[in-house]
């Protein structure tokens, strides 16, 4: 039987087909969860991620120093293998969580880890930020998702080759060098807004400069060790990234708007969960990306009865993956038989603490006494969805609930300090001004008048804040 081959390019004919079929930027299944509990689960902290990151950085630096000091000895081999796995492999989970901005409560701490982790993986920081936004918008939608790692029909040979990163690593590096010279392809223009293109080019130049300097160092010292320390882990340590990452979506359903069919949750041991930052709860992460990694086990406990049963171990996940690759290499339409519960789910589950106005709807009176610090409620004015919230200094604010980036209600996201975070791609707005404060959002949201007795109304003129 000849396997049907689909075009997985995000600038090819499948892109248009996905849009026409309504699969692009679609409305996804969301599990039902108590809004108050969700608010607890989206709370951020700096302490827990700081502990995790210090351990991780300590491992990376300690193993690097150890490997370097063992140069010339066979003991350097296992030391470099371990160093490469930490730097070139487990950076992936740090890159991912800090890219979402959900690891640390403080934004700049996320960036402090995100940028070096991006370099360790040879992922251009801005380019891949936008790639991952798209992955979350259109997860495993063919023609839309740029992060489908194993297109169908798969093969066990290609699957095994991925662990070496001998194709993927050099491809990424070559693409970065092209960007450094200002050569940007259609995929880049499809993903990255034109306002960020300059940034992509300059980041590529920084990466390229570091790689070139490392090569010069290696040539000058006639030694391969500098390359094993810098740049090399992207390739020889990537197996640790693939080992965990392959469990996320491999072999599962394409073109569905329900993460329960396209994404896998696997129960892993505590060491794996540390190295992978709990991304084994991947269905939960995709469904609620505003929940930080360290609260995913609790989220899992809340919604497990609405999901397919998790795979009981990494071994079980690999058995399922290898079986699926075998089947799909012959018949690409073959599906894994999942026991996804037939439940309705929910959208817009935030408690609405408002009283409907008796007038024409241009004003609403909300029960502000019921809104504590860090809490928010949704109401409506003139048919527009509005979030009323109380920030850390006790002040009340009201802003449009509709995200300016895509199909999402900010009321379903998280309130962090004076910023409201979108539940879909973790973009943020300052609720005091409506200004966008975190990508991918770039357009401000409308702000509304609110007084101490709960009267919310439109401001007399357009109140959209300027971009920062």
- Among the listed residues 57, 406, 443, 463, the single contact to ligand FES using CB under 6 A: 406
Span from 184-192, 222-230, 329-337, 424-432 in contact with ligand FES (CB under 6 A): 424-432
From residue 48, how far is each of 51, 294, 388, 445 by CA, in Å? 5, 8, 29, 32
Question: Closer CB to ligand FES, residue 76 or residue 410?
Answer: 410
Question: Closer CB to ligand FES, residue 155 or residue 385?
Answer: 385
Question: Closer CB to ligand FES, residue 138 or residue 203?
Answer: 138
Question: Closer CB to ligand FES, residue 124 or residue 412?
Answer: 412
- The size of the chain, in residues, is 468
| Strand locations in 314-451 (E) | 354-355, 363-366, 376-381, 384-390, 396-400, 414-416, 419-421, 428-430, 436-438, 447-450
Per DSSP, helices labelled H in 221-331 are 225-229, 233-236, 239-249, 259-262, 270-275, 282-287, 296-303, 314-330
Q: How far apart are CA 90 and CA 98, in angstroms?
A: 13
The secondary structure of 70-112 as a DSSP string is: TTTSTTHHHHHHHHHIIIIITHHHHHHHHHHT-S-SSHHHHHH
Q: How far apart are CA 354 and CA 401, in angstroms?
A: 14
Interface residues for ligand FES in 441-460 (CB under 6 A)? 441
Question: Closer CB to ligand FES, residue 23 or residue 424?
Answer: 424
Contact 204, 124 (CB under 8 A): yes
* Closest separation in Å from C-beta 42 to ligand FES: 14
* Closest separation in Å from C-beta 322 to ligand FES: 35
Number of residues that bind ligand FES (CB under 6 A): 10
Question: Closer CB to ligand FES, residue 247 or residue 426?
Answer: 426
Question: Closer CB to ligand FES, residue 2 or residue 194?
Answer: 194
Q: Is 440 in the site for ligand FES (CB under 6 A)?
A: yes
Q: How far apart are CA 121 and CA 235, in angstroms?
A: 9
- Among the listed residues 100, 129, 286, 424, the single contact to ligand FES using CB under 6 A: 424
Contact 214, 230 (CB under 8 A): yes
Find, among 344, 423, 442, 443, the residue nearest to 376 by Cα.
423
Span from 263-271, 353-361, 421-429, 453-461 in contact with ligand FES (CB under 6 A): 421-429
Residue 312: phi and psi, rounded to 5, are -75, -15
Contact 134, 144 (CB under 8 A): yes
Question: Closer CB to ligand FES, residue 121 or residue 465?
Answer: 465
Q: Is 425 in the site for ligand FES (CB under 6 A)?
A: yes
Q: How far apart are CA 13 and CA 253, in angstroms?
A: 20
- Among the listed residues 15, 152, 294, 405, the single contact to ligand FES using CB under 6 A: 405
CA dihedral over 135, 140, 145, 150, signed as positive or negative: positive
Interface residues for ligand FES in 79-98 (CB under 6 A)? none
Question: Closer CB to ligand FES, residue 154 or residue 289?
Answer: 289
CA dihedral over 149, 150, 151, 155, signed as positive or negative: positive
Q: Is 408 in the site for ligand FES (CB under 6 A)?
A: yes
3-state secondary structure (DSSP) of residue 172? helix
Angle at 251 between CA 248 and CA 253, to 5 degrees: 90
Q: Is 427 in the site for ligand FES (CB under 6 A)?
A: yes
Span from 60-68, 202-210, 242-250, 423-431 in contact with ligand FES (CB under 6 A): 423-431
* Closest separation in Å from C-beta 404 to ligand FES: 7
Q: Is 422 in the site for ligand FES (CB under 6 A)?
A: yes
Find, among 385, 419, 377, the residue nearest to 290 by Cα.
419
Interface residues for ligand FES in 8-67 (CB under 6 A)? none
Q: Is 289 in the site for ligand FES (CB under 6 A)?
A: no
* Closest separation in Å from C-beta 228 to ligand FES: 39
- Among the listed residues 18, 279, 403, 418, the single contact to ligand FES using CB under 6 A: 403
Span from 123-131, 143-151, 335-343, 417-425 in contact with ligand FES (CB under 6 A): 417-425
Question: Closer CB to ligand FES, residue 48 or residue 464?
Answer: 464
* Closest separation in Å from C-beta 198 to ligand FES: 22
Q: Is 99 in the site for ligand FES (CB under 6 A)?
A: no
Q: How far apart are CA 351 and CA 37, in angstroms?
A: 11
Question: Closer CB to ligand FES, residue 335 or residue 443?
Answer: 443
Question: Closer CB to ligand FES, residue 27 or residue 337?
Answer: 27
* Closest separation in Å from C-beta 425 to ligand FES: 3
* Closest separation in Å from C-beta 142 to ligand FES: 21
Find, among 54, 73, 60, 48, the residue nearest to 240 by Cα.
60
Q: Which residues bind ligand FES (CB under 6 A)?
A: 403, 405-406, 408, 422, 424-425, 427, 440-441
């Amino acid at each position: 039987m000849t396997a049907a081959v689909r075009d997985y390019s995000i600038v090819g004919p499948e892109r248009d087909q996905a849009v026409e079929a309504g699969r692009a930027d679609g409305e996804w299944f969301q599990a039902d969860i108590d809004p108050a509990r969700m608010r607890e689960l989206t709370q951020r902290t700096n302490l827990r991620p700081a502990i995790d990151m210090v351990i991780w950085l300590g491992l990376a630096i300690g193993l690097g120093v150890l490997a370097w000091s063992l140069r010339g000895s066979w003991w350097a081999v296992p030391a470099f293998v371990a160093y490469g796995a930490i730097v070139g492999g487990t950076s992936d989970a740090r890159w991912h969580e800090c890219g979402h901005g959900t690891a640390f409560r403080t934004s700049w701490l996320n960036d402090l880890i995100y940028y070096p982790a991006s370099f360790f993986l040879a992922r251009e920081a801005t380019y891949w930020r936008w790639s991952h936004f798209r992955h979350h918008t259109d997860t495993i939608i063919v023609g839309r998702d740029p992060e489908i790692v194993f297109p169908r029909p798969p093969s066990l040979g290609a699957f095994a080759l991925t662990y070496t990163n001998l194709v993927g690593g050099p491809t990424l590096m070559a693409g970065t060098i092209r960007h450094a010279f200002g050569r940007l392809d259609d995929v880049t223009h499809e993903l990255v807004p034109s306002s960020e293109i300059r940034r992509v080019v300059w980041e590529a130049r920084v990466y390229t400069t570091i790689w070139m300097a490392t090569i010069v160092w290696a040539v000058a010292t006639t030694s391969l060790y500098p390359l094993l320390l810098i740049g090399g882990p992207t390739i020889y340590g990537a197996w640790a990234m693939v080992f965990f990452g392959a469990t996320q979506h491999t072999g599962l359903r394409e073109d569905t708007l329900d993460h329960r069919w396209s994404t896998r949750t696997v129960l892993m041991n505590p060491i794996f969960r540390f190295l992978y930052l709990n991304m084994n709860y991947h269905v939960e992460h995709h469904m609620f990306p505003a929940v930080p990694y360290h609260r995913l086990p609790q989220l899992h406990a809340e919604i497990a009865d609405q999901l397919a049963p998790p795979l009981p171990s990494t071994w079980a996940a690999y058995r399922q993956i290898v079986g699926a690759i075998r089947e799909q290499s012959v018949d690409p339409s073959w599906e894994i038989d999942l026991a996804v519960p037939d439940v309705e789910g929910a959208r817009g589950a935030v408690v609405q603490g408002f009283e409907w106005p008796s007038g024409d709807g241009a004003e609403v009176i909300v029960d502000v006494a019921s809104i504590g610090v860090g809490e928010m409620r949704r109401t409506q004015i003139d048919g527009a969805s509005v979030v009323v919230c109380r920030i850390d200094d006790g002040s009340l604010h009201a802003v449009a609930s509709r995200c300016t980036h895509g199909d999402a209600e900010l009321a379903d996201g998280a309130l962090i300090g004076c910023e409201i975070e979108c539940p879909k791609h973790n973009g943020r707005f300052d609720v005091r001004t409506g200004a966008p404060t975190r990508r991918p959002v770039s357009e401000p949201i409308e702000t509304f008048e609110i007084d101490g007795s709960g009267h919310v109304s439109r401001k007399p003129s357009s109140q959209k804040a300027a971009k920062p």
